[in-house]
Structure 1
């Protein structure tokens, strides 16, 4: 029964990630459209697919942080490593978001890493504040 629940959760996360990725692409297209643009349909399709795969991946990969027997450091290192290994080919080969040259890949790696670190610190701070409020709530009930 638990396997069915996990698979249902993964499937819901995949499709939710597809939806978020598609929505982000739609918003980006609307905001960047000025009426004179002509873009090949294949370019739109590849970017849409890249966004959807990115959304699905990060939605499912977040489950790594629910593995309670792993330390936060282990969860973070595995999530970051998988994200880098699995997502960089999507960013470069599928969509062309980063050109295939050393300088662009290095810049992409740095931007990805800095974004990852900022995102991690944001969530870490949020959960620390939540923990603090929960502990205060427990203390006031005593």
Structure 2
């Protein structure tokens, strides 16, 4: 069992890693979208950067839900999805304005988020199933 200090330091490392990834992705997207422009409004850049960094930190830490061994994969996924909706939709709407606060836009944003979440989940599930298959084959060869 992990000690409290180990868990806290793991969370801190994950937060800063997520902040860094979010910041880097914002830098890349900003460079690609605004290449050739002399100036990008500072407020827009700051809000997008902050939003991306929060999302990166959230996903880095929330992945720990998938390490709770007492929970089924279904429970881990449902709790992670619901927590993601509650934590991230304020970032998508109020903070960054990526999704306007209008019913149709919110529905489209939710559908896009859910579709992206499902594709990501299927990708990871397939990856780990493939890894499981390879490990089992390796064990069979040893015996």
TM range (shorter): over 0.9
SS of aligned partner of 2:35: coil
Runs of 4+ more than 3 Å apart: none
Structure 1 residue 32: Cα displacement: 1.1
CA contact (8 A) 2:92 2:98 kept: yes
> After superposition, what is the alpha-carbon deviation per residue over 1:98-124, rounded to whole angstroms, capped at 9, x for unaligned?
011001100000000000000000000
Q: Is 1:123 aligned to 2:129, yes or no?
A: no
> After superposition, what is the alpha-carbon deviation per residue over 1:73-129, rounded to whole angstroms, capped at 9, x for unaligned?
000000000000110001100000001100110000000000000000000000000
Q: What TM-score does the superposition give when structure 2 sets the normalisation length?
A: 0.96
The number of residues matched between the two structures is 142
Structure 1 partner of 2:37: 36
Calculate the aligned-residue CA RMSD, in Å: 1.0
Stretches of structure 2 that go unaligned for 5 or more consecutive residues are none
Structure 1 residue 13: Cα displacement: 0.2
Alignment of 1:62-101 (within 5 A): 62-101=63-102
Q: What TM-score does the superposition give when structure 1 sets the normalisation length?
A: 0.97
Alignment of 1:127-142 (within 5 A): 127-142=128-143
- Matched residues in 1 for 2:41 and 2:136: separation? 55
Structure 1 residue 46: Cα displacement: 0.4
- Matched residues in 2 for 1:124 and 1:73: separation? 12
Return 13-22 or 35-44, whichever deviates more.
35-44
> After superposition, what is the alpha-carbon deviation per residue over 1:33-83, rounded to whole angstroms, capped at 9, x for unaligned?
232364320110000000000000000000000000000000000000000
- Matched residues in 2 for 1:91 and 1:80: separation? 15
Q: Is 1:5 aligned to 2:6, yes or no?
A: yes
